Amino acid sequence: MAELTDRKLYLGPKLRVLRRELGLNQTRMAEELGVSPSYLNHLERNQRPLTAQMLLRLANTYDIDIRDFTASPAEGGPGELSEILSDALVRDIGIARDEVLEVAENYPGVSEALARFYRALTDLRRLPGEAVAGARGPAPLVAPVDWLREMIARAGNHFAEIDAGAESLAAAMSDDPALLQAELRARLKDRHGMAVQVVRADVLAGTLRHYDMHRRRLMLNERLPASGRLFAIAYHLCAQELAEAIAAQVARAAPPDEDSRRIATMALTNYAAAALIMPYDRFRQACEQSRHDLALLRDRFGVSTEQLAHRLTSLGRTGARGIPFFMVKMDRAGLVSKRFDGEAWPFARYGGACPRWDAYDAAASDMVACQLIETLDGRRFVTLAMGIAGAPGARGRSVIAIGCEAKHGGRIVHADGIDPEKDGATEVGPTCPLCERRACADRALPPVTRALDLHSYERTVAPFPFRRV
């Protein structure tokens, strides 16, 4: 707590989000905290900083974790704001770094607004002109996938109410994945009148699972592996029995449009299914006891590599936290289709990751590629990558990579033999346009923050030489 008293904390937006999530108006929250409504209003508008005493009141009154509440925001922070202001549209203004820091730290609401506008601009840049004003009307200002990513990041990818509900369901069921699947089938049939049937691939051409609402029959493609079948059944059971908790969480997130609401509902139902198959306490204990042996955990819980990686990023329960992993899913072209930032995402949020990151090379599903990396600011991370097969009919493969700060490496069996402090680490950058490493032979683009320094009389090992200042 001492370090919190050394700096002023302007956390108005976080305080306002907390109040709204609790369903309180300013008058009611002020009464519960023992302060005046005007004082609370000043706090929410960042006209006054949160004192250490007020943080303790918040923690005691609403059972929040101070570390979570005071953590850097998932969007609109200094790093992301620097990325946004390096865009060619505004680069010539030459905004100083200390100005960026001042805005990010003292005006988080402004930073968040800029981040959202930039995401909308990025979406519009990707869309052809016809799509912007097509038959379906204008494109959404924030793409549903981007909105979902932001919503999950704000929650730290942990939804306590859904986790608790799924854990309660799991308590009455078997630990064995094969027996669990049978029990889930039986529960769907007995309590909800839903039958499960595995059908030929040609019957469900292009579809992995389909629920026939008229016949109340869940049809699973025969090409689904056992982990996929188990997850599909768990998904539909959670959609029935945890519907209220999921709907409440979606409502609190306030999706901006119908597509965002639907994708949020599906994502949180997926979250519930994972929590049912990998119930929190039992899964976290298995992680610690096995030292996060990915293959062992995958087999023990009967899940896929991707399902396992998802779950590893969600262990944020107060008082029983797991390693704060980040996760990414990439195809062989380096395009990111899924990303969970964790507490410390080492790469840029826009564009591709660093080509020096070995995760791209992971090919085998039964081998874990471990790498020690170091970012521009000297932070070190341990990353683990495994290849996964594409969906039925897909030609390419994908890579699942997770990572965490190197200080957690001793808790991971795959990092045995790596000294996070003394061993040489692979130097990586956020993404080429934002990276200022001069001697990088893997550079694909020059940095937008530096002027080029080209001379006809020499050629450097690193492409695009640039000035130091």
Maximal C-alpha separation, the chain: 80
Cβ atoms of residues 376 and 430 within 8 Å: yes
State percent of the chain over pLDDT 90: 40
Q: State the pLDDT at residue 93.
A: 75
Axis-axis angle for helices 258-277, 243-253 (nearest 10): 130
Class of domain 322-427: alpha beta
Is the pTM here over 0.75, yes or no?
Answer: no
Which has the closest alpha carbon to 442: 353, 380, 374, 378?
353
pLDDT over threshold 80, residue 326:
yes
Least confident of 25-29, 113-117, 317-321, 414-418: 113-117
Between 125 and 313, the higher pLDDT residue: 313
| Mean pLDDT value of segment 206-226 | 89
CATH of the domain spanning 160-277:
1.10.10.2910
Examine the pLDDT at 399 and tell me if it is beyond 80. Answer: yes
Whole-angstrom Cα distance, residue 460 to residue 275?
52
DSSP string, 39-76: HHHHHHTTSSPBPHHHHHHHHHHH---HHHHHSPPSSS
- DSSP of 68-83, one letter per residue? HHHSPPSSSSHHHHHH
**Domain boundaries along the sequence of the chain:** 2-70, 160-277, 322-427, 436-469
Residue 287 and residue 208: Cα distance in Å, rounded?
30
| Residues 283-311: tens digit of each pLDDT | 999 999 999 999 999 999 999 999 999 99
Task: Examine the pLDDT at 2 and tell me if it is beyond 50.
Answer: no
Tokens of 177: 């994945």
What is the CATH superfamily name and number for domain 2-70?
lambda repressor-like DNA-binding domains (1.10.260.40)
Work out the pLDDT band at 6, boundaries 50, 70, 90. very low
**What are 225-284's pLDDT values in tens digits?**
999 999 999 999 999 999 999 999 999 999 988 999 999 999 999 999 999 999 999 999
* Among 335, 383, 386, residue whose Cα is nearest residue 364: 386
Has residue 138 got a pLDDT over 70?
A: no
What is the pLDDT, as a whole number, of residue 194?
94
Comparing CA positions, the residue from 334, 361, 362 lying closest to residue 348 is 334
Comparing 214 with 324, the larger pLDDT belongs to 324
